[in-house]
Amino acid sequence: MATSSSLKLVETRALGSDWRHLCTVLLYAPNPGMLYGRIPLRYTVLMVMRFDGRLGFPGGFVNTHHHSLEDGLNRELSKKLGKAVSTFRVERADYRSSQTDVKTNVVGHFYTKKLTLAQLHAVETGASEARAHGLEVETAWDPGGLGPSGFVCSLPSV
């Protein structure tokens, strides 16, 4: 028996109230730079350290009773990445796919948002001042009791 499946966005809205909605977004920017002065870069991608110590995309669980998925995602981004996210908004047009997990009753919604390199850099550098920066990672993964371990990094794509 399959434990996960793909659904269209409209189909996920028909799921019962016992389902939780997790929204994440791939924030990226075209990058005309060169890696080591020789290898052309194509994009820079923003990733975050997840609660379980793995790299992932920013986002979080959203309350669909009071917000649209996009409103909830933008609120989560503001909380976790800081003020720089006010220069853009994730919209319905940025939606890409949804995946359900019947074991946990979670439906994950994935978005992509193209930014300028300056916007992406501002989000990366301002994230450490966000309200919730490092809180989720600290509780699940704190190597040697060093305090908040959450971080945001942008990775060049070759």
Closest to 89 (Cα-Cα) out of 109, 110, 72: 72
Question: How many domains in the chain?
Answer: 1
**28 beta partners:** 45, 114
Residue 62 dihedral angles phi and psi, to the nearest 5°: -120, 150
Q: What is the pLDDT of residues 123-135, one digit of tens each?
A: 998 887 766 555 5
Q: What's the confidence (pLDDT) of residue 133?
A: 54
88 is written with which tokens? Answer: 């853009």
C-alpha distances (whole Å) from 35 to each of 39, 43, 53 are 5, 11, 27
Q: What's the confidence (pLDDT) of residue 30?
A: 97
The CATH number of residue 130's host domain is 3.90.79.10
Q: What's the confidence (pLDDT) of residue 131?
A: 64
Q: What's the confidence (pLDDT) of residue 67?
A: 78
Q: What's the confidence (pLDDT) of residue 12?
A: 82
Is 0.85 topped by the overall pTM? no
CA distance 156 to 115: 14
CA distance 4 to 100: 5
Cβ-in-10-Å burial (0-12, 13-18, 19+) of 80 comes to buried
Residues of the chain with pLDDT under 70: 1-2, 130-158
Q: What's the confidence (pLDDT) of residue 13?
A: 79
Q: What's the confidence (pLDDT) of residue 49?
A: 84
The residue behind tokens 């009071």 is 66
CA distance 115 to 87: 10
